Amino acid sequence: MKNLIIINNPLVKRDVTYLRDKRTKEYQFRLALRRISFILASEIAKQEFRTVECEVETPLEKTIGHSLEHQIVLVPVLRAGLSMVNSFVEMIPNAKVGHIGMERNEKTLEPRTYYYKTPKELNTSKTIVLDPMLATGGSASAAFSFLKQKGARDCSLACLISAPEGVRKMERDHPDVKIYTAVLDRELNENGYILPGLGDAGDRTFGTL
Ligand code: PRP
Ligand code: URA
């Protein structure tokens, strides 16, 4: 799994445990996902972003500062990806934000796109797709195929829990995309749910169980 980067951070490990716990209420679930997303954003920045020097004038003198070299486009996959976007936007305030609405068919597990809106800067930006769950990989793969068709070419995926099946599909379909994840779980069950996982991330985020 050469494209997979697992975040090694004690705060992330603690919060993943919190998210897995079936007793965790939706508002606590959203907060934990928000905290993990700050750390994911920071880790992705460390590995993917570059800076250019610029001049800045302090109250005392001029000095050299840094600005990001690239425009960043964030694309949360609805619904569950919405819980990650605010943390990323707080860390990268001038990021553009696109949205893709996707829903897995419960029987075939194939994703269906029901909404999209993306900024025109895709082909000159770094694009980060936000989705907490990488299960079969069908949704993530379809999201990147769509974004690449719209011009995206420098892409990564930020997620919370990945399954080996999804990572393998992404590496087959999009070998250029790095996957940043908080944890790699064991396998999928017969209904396409990640084990041990956390259940349905969208339902647990929004209380639609
Ligand atoms: C979940 C999750 C991913 C997808 C992952 O969304 O947020 O988008 O499933 O599964 P896959 O890798 O097998 O495609 P879901 O379709 O449940 O929609 P929701 O976020 O609206 O609940
Ligand atoms: N989507 C989820 O929300 N959870 C899973 O375990 C798999 C797909």
Which residue's alpha carbon is nearest to atom 8 within ligand 1?
139
Shortest-distance ligand to the CA of residue 189: 2
> In the chain, where are the structural domains located?
4-206
> pLDDT 10s per residue in the chain (209 long)?
899 999 999 999 999 999 999 999 999 999 999 999 999 999 999 999 999 999 999 999 999 999 999 999 999 999 999 999 999 999 999 999 999 999 999 999 999 999 999 999 999 999 999 999 999 999 999 999 999 999 999 999 999 999 999 999 999 999 999 999 999 999 999 999 999 999 999 999 999 98
> Two tokens at 9?
């951070």
Q: What is the pTM of this model?
A: 0.97
CATH topology assigned to domain 4-206: Rossmann fold (3.40.50)
197 C-beta closer than 6 A to ligand 2:
yes
**Pseudo-torsion of CA 46, 48, 188, 203, nearest 10°?**
80
Closest ligand 2 atom number to CA of residue 202:
3
Which residue's alpha carbon is nearest to atom 6 within ligand 1?
103
How would you label 153-182 residue by residue, b for 16+ Cβ within 10 Å and e otherwise?
A: ebbbbbbbbbbbbbbebbbeebeebbbbbb
142 C-beta closer than 6 A to ligand 2:
no
